Structure 1
Amino acid sequence: MSETVEKLARVRKYLKTHGLEGIVLLSRANFAWLSGGGDSHIVSQSERGFGALVVTAKQALLVANRIEIDRIANEETVSAFTPKSFPWIQSLADALPKILGANIKKFASDDADGTGLQKLPGDFIYECRAELCEPEIRRYKALGRDCSLVMETVCRQTQVGDSEFQVEADMAKHLLARGIQPYVLLVAFDQRILRYRHPTPTINHLKRCGMLVICGARGGLIACLTRLIHFGPIPEDLQKRHESVCRVDGAFWNATKVGTPYGKVLQAGIDQYKKEGFAKEWELHHQGGPTGYAGRDIVATPDEKRVVLDKQAVAWNPSITGTKAEDTFIVDGANRIVLTASSPDWPMTKVTVGGEAFSRPSILVR
């Protein structure tokens, strides 16, 4: 079964479950998912793309205005969808009734604002998108390798005196050269690592310590990782904190088992924070959760009831003031596929949590 055939079957099962005539997928994330990696964006800061995928029990359509229709139809992975265009002087909301027909009120959309459609009922991500198929896993592995390579390249090239802006630009350059969109790029040097969990880059110049974060997107899939570098010997307190955050990360990984509620996985990490002597640190930043076509499909909270799925991508990001751990992996039965694994020459910290041994990236000493 091809990727598109499998996904259309999931969508049509969703339609039947919720009593819908069809759905209109407008978000870039869902366009990429259903098309198998297609790109509908023009404006990089917009979550809504410039093409829509429409699915009914019998039809699969690509809908876009006349400016965009040929490029999307010719260059993106949409051969399974019949193209339908409308004049650029019309809005999509005006064009949809004619394209969809009389039963438009029985259609739903992932971005219903201004369309006259109802919002997608239920949990579309969990019912259709969360479990990755084999072609997606292959693309995700390649993306993860490339993001890790970019991260390590920039970490090894960064010098004392560089600004956070410079390092951000270096990461973006290397990502874009590989067809990867910078979804999130964070950089903090020295005191800013201690102050901010989401350090957007500034003119601040590197003296000793740097933290770099990449969330890179290609074909809609997003891979996330964090690494730290230090010029000169690592202070003892920072080293201990990093070992602690690696054990917290290990607790998250160890608890991420098929069928386990994400709230329970989060609790395993919270318990490890307490064991490490940093009981309140988890309250200073979200800890991550399942990912895929969004930075996080769910940000895990203590009362989250949705469970870990097989073939689901996950990225935990525990932090203890001054340091952080983050990588992306896919749950693979009782195993895991680490997408953003470090190269053999990156230093690693070995920890054991819940009877399971982990090697997590150390702070790179320059």
Structure 2
Amino acid sequence: MSEIDQKLATMRQLLARQGMAGFLLRGTDWFAWATGGSSNTVLLAAETGVAEVLVTLRDAYILTDSIEAERFLNEEAPTPYLVWSAPWQDPFARKAFVLDQTRGGLLASDRPRGVEYALPRDLWLLRRELMPEEQDRYRLLCLEAAEAMTETLEAAHPDWTEFDLAAAGSAALWKRGIHPALTMAGGENRLPRYRHPVASREKLGSRAMLVFCARRHGLYANLSRFVYFRKPDKDEEKHKLDLAHVEAAAWQASRPGVPLSKIYEKIVAAYESMGYVDEPSRHHQGGPTGYLAREEVASPQSTDPVADGTALAWNPSVKGGKIEDTILVRGSQTDILTVDPRWPTFEFADRKRPDFLVKL
């Protein structure tokens, strides 16, 4: 079966098992998952889009309005989905159609309204097990996001503002058909002060960090990189190696069947072994990614296990420093996806890790 056929079959098995009549998927994340990477997004900042997916025991529909119907028919509706639309002025037509298709039965949704139920937890966990087709899309996205990062920071100048850097990063992503869901830029003055230095009018100065959460086909490539316009000092070089140590501990623990809470414990222990006792409380450490920048932020309370085929984005940080890439867990193997061969690297734990890009 195709990717979409397998997903529809799985959803129908869950519907039958739980005695439900349909799933109504509203979020941009779930729409992309169910349709094999199609998009219902118009407003980038919105969590929901201009179309929904309705899956019943018999049929599968993309529900939209007259504004969007032709575009979805031509560009965003994969087989075997049927496109249903109604005049945009009639807000009740869609609800009536859903009631008719489900015959008034129980309905579950990722964003439930009224008497709708929440999606089964099994479906949320299944979404993290990326199928081969999804992994292929993810690999290409992550490669191109990493290339966009290199292109941006190679062009960066100390007189640029953080706005300039974020704008250049966004342009590099858009050129590749990638949504710049997040382009966070911080220069030398704000980097030591904030873990999330969202872009401002300040100039970059002697160094800068750029962070991408880059979305295409609903999937997120997450990565952070640093550019220096001077030689890094001893403390900065030490932080780089220490963060690579913490990251290596996270990656080593990231194996199928291991609960996220156990990985979090390994991360905390790695920080403590390097003398950074308080750092885990100053910023989250990341977790599973995929159809959200973080499907879940790992914590001591995270009981869900890593599955084979799960994408992860751990992001250890210290004051003024950070390391982050998107990886894919395949059995005992960890594939680093956000890699541009042009980016400078250093060796750590038998892996090439992103170094500072130094432009003197």
TM range (shorter): over 0.9
- Give the structure-2-normalised TM-score: 0.96
Tell me which of 335, 343, 346 is aligned to 2:343. Answer: 346
Report sequence identity in percent: 33
Of 331, 334, 337 in structure 1, the residue corresponding to residue 335 of structure 2 is 337
Tell me the SS of whatever aligns to 2:190: helix
Which residue pairs with 1:361 in the alignment?
354
- Pair 1:228 & 2:242 matched: no
Native 8 Å contact 1:108 1:118 kept in 2:
yes
**Aligned positions of 1:9-88 closer than 5 A:** 9-88=9-88
Choose from 201, 204, 217 the match for 2:202: 204
Q: AA paired with 1:64?
A: T
Partner of 1:161: 159
Q: CA offset at residue 43 of structure 1? A: 1.8
Cα separation, 2, equivalents of 1:77 and 1:168: 33
Counterpart Cα distance in 1 of 2:160 and 2:200: 11
1:5-52 deviations in whole A, cap 9, x for unaligned?
111112112213322111111111111111111111122211111111
Stretches of structure 1 that go unaligned for 5 or more consecutive residues are: none
Tell me which residue corresponds to 2:116: 117
Equivalent-residue separation in structure 2 for 1:17 and 1:200 (angstroms): 45
The residue identity in structure 2 corresponding to 1:173 is: A
After TM superposition, the structure 1 = structure 2 runs for residues 229-248 of structure 1, keeping only pairs within 5 Å, are 229-248=227-246
Q: Quote how far apart the aligned CAs of 1:132 are.
A: 0.8
User: Offset at 1:120?
Assistant: 2.1
Number of equivalences? 358
Provide TM-score, normalisation by structure 1: 0.94
Q: For 1:89, what is the secondary structure of its paired residue?
A: coil
Cα offset for 1:69? 1.5
CA displacement at 1:348 relative to structure 2: 1.9
1:191 deviation in Å? Answer: 2.3
Contact 2:219/2:291 (CA < 8 Å) preserved in 1?
Answer: yes
Q: Does structure 2 retain, via aligned residues, the 8 Å contact 1:69–1:83? A: yes
Q: CA deviation at 1:362?
A: 1.3
Which residue of structure 1 aligns with residue 182 of structure 2? 184
The more displaced of 93-102 and 12-21 is: 93-102
1:96 aligns with 2:89: no
RMSD, aligned α-carbons: 1.5
Distance 2:83 2:230 in 1: 59
- Contact 1:51-1:69 at 8 Å conserved across structures: no
User: Which amino acid letter does the alignment assign opposite residue 40 of structure 1?
Assistant: N
Matched, 1:253 2:246: no
How far did residue 109 of structure 1 move?
1.3
Following superposition, the deviation at residue 119 of structure 1 comes to 2.6
How many Å apart are 1:141 and its aligned residue?
0.7
Which among 271, 278, 286 is matched to residue 280 of structure 1? 278
Q: Which runs of 4+ in 1 moved over 4 A?
A: none
1:105 Cα offset (Å): 4.6
Answer yes or no: is 1:4 the counterpart of 2:4. Answer: yes
Q: Is the 8 A contact 1:66 1:85 kept in 2?
A: yes
The answer to whether the 8 Å contact 1:291/1:297 transfers is yes
Aligned counterparts of 1:77 and 1:212: Cα–Cα separation in 2: 35
1:291 aligns with 2:292: no
Q: Is the 8 A contact 1:245 1:318 kept in 2?
A: yes
SS in 2 for 1:294: coil
Native 8 Å contact 2:180 2:214 kept in 1: yes
Cα deviation for residue 116 of structure 1 reads 4.8
Tell me if the contact between 1:37 and 1:220 (Cα under 8 Å) persists in the aligned partners: yes
Are the structure 2 counterparts of residues 46 and 69 from structure 1 closer, same or farther at C-alpha, using a change threshold of 3 Å? Answer: same
CA contact (8 A) 1:163 1:205 kept: yes
CA contact under 8 A between 1:64 and 1:85: conserved in structure 2?
yes
Q: How far does residue 337 in structure 1 lie from its aligned partner after superposition?
A: 2.1
- Mapped partners of 1:219, 1:259: distance in 2: 27
Question: Please, which moves more after superposition, 73-82 or 25-34?
Answer: 73-82
Residue identity opposite 1:160 in structure 2: P
C-alpha displacement of 1:61: 1.1
Instruction: Map 1:139-178 onto structure 2 (within 5 A).
Output: 139-178=137-176
Separation in structure 2 between the aligned mates of residue 104 and residue 135 of structure 1, nearest angstrom? 35
CA contact (8 A) 1:342 1:361 kept: no
